[in-house]
Amino acid sequence: MDDADVVIIGAGAAGLSLARRLAALGPAGPAAALVLEPPAGPLRSPQRTWCWWEAAPGGEYDAAVRASWDRVAVYGPGGGRTEAPVAPLRYKMLRSDDFAALVARELADRPAVRRLTAAVTAVRDGGRWAEVDADTPAGRLRLRARWVFDSRPPAVLPPARTRLVQHFRGWFVRTARPAFDPAAALLMDFRVPQPPRGLAFGYVLPTGPGQALVEYTRFSRAPLGREAYDAELDRYTREVLGLGPFEVTGSEQGAIPMTDAVFPRRTGARVFRIGTAGGATRPATGYTFSGIQRQTRAIARAYAAGRVPLPPPAHRRRHLVMDAALLRALDRGRLDGAAYFAGLFAGHPPGRLLRFLDGRSRLRDELLIGLRGPVLPMALSCAELALLRRRAGHPG
């Protein structure tokens, strides 16, 4: 049995963010930390593109950011376009492989934090140590660690009242003629047919006049099959965006839980969950990356101070209450989701809205957003939620 101060399970957004923050603590950090990541195959998370907004310049990942925008746009279901600058913020795009390469460079001269190819099979909590079992290319491994941070996506979601999924597929496209405005990220384009419940939109991240990541996204109860996404993307790129001839140079597909489930951040005396598994996803938007940064910064601070490195909640309670009402209203068909989100962008200054969507808004922002929104569907959903208990499986 090998010993480590810290074992981080998973080298995705949360695992690598935490690894680099612990490594940066130097002598105040762990003397030995291991990041475990399965070999390429079904367990390993596929490559993906993360976007978030933050003050520019000077972001800690700027060296790896592929593209960024100082304007964002939204199309309402009737075709009206709202476009606004987001200064002093910037909407930034980071590819997961670029992020992994950046972290690998940072860790190269910090031997206290090592990466190991290992698929974790079991985690056992204990009073003084936790144990982690893993399969490695060299055979079975059992590790003893003072602290374990587990970012494996949960196989089963915790009990919930509402379970929606934000699911999407995107194409990296190269067009024959200039077709995009590289100055603005198109966050939500509601000029696509709307499902009876939930909502659907296009998302366009232009990296040049003839290059973009174009996605089709839905908020609903279950993901679609690949052919259905491709059919929607085909229609969106040709009929709505009118791209003309183009080639698809790559793709990505994913699903993010949108739920009022409570994700436990501590599952034992020595075992914590981080990332999506630890509740970092904002339920009403799916944005997770900035919540992960907040959580991992706080863990590193606690570690350096010799405190129990418990991940703090990534989102404020009142935001989770608002999100639960919104998800319920969407799921019950009480709310026209496309009109709601398009109205948010049209009716509020981008700074207020982005603070709200990122979970950094002030109470005043939320009151203004709440009062100018669909008060009745939200109030009905709040009343309904008060009578419901969180349950395993899908709510009826």
Of 82, 151, 162, 361, the one binding ligand FAD (CB under 6 A) is 151
- Exposure of 10 in the CB half-sphere (CA atoms within 13 A): 24
Interacting span for ligand FAD (CB under 6 A) from 31-39, 194-202, 331-339, 349-357: 31-39
Taking the least distance from each CB to ligand FAD, the nearer of 165 and 378 is 165
Q: Count how many residues are written for the chain.
A: 396
C-alpha dist (Å) from residue 329 to 163, 197, 246: 12, 9, 38
289 binds ligand FAD (CB under 6 A): yes
152 binds ligand FAD (CB under 6 A): yes
Task: Report d(CA 294, CA 296) in Å as an integer.
Answer: 6
CB of residue 51 to ligand FAD, shortest distance in Å: 4
288 binds ligand FAD (CB under 6 A): yes
236 binds ligand FAD (CB under 6 A): no
Taking the least distance from each CB to ligand FAD, the nearer of 271 and 385 is 271
45 binds ligand FAD (CB under 6 A): yes
Per-residue mark of binding to ligand FAD, 240-279 (x: CB under 6 A): ------------x-x-x------------------xxx--
CB of residue 334 to ligand FAD, shortest distance in Å: 26
Close Cβ partners of 341 (under 8 Å, ≥ 6 residues apart): 74, 188, 190, 199, 201
Q: Give, as ranges, the residues between 75 and 134 that touch ligand FAD (CB under 6 A).
A: 119-120
Taking the least distance from each CB to ligand FAD, the nearer of 32 and 43 is 43
Taking the least distance from each CB to ligand FAD, the nearer of 1 and 155 is 155
Provide the binding-site residues for ligand FAD, judged by CB under 6 A: 9-15, 36-38, 43-45, 48-52, 119-120, 151-153, 252, 254, 256, 275-277, 286-289, 292
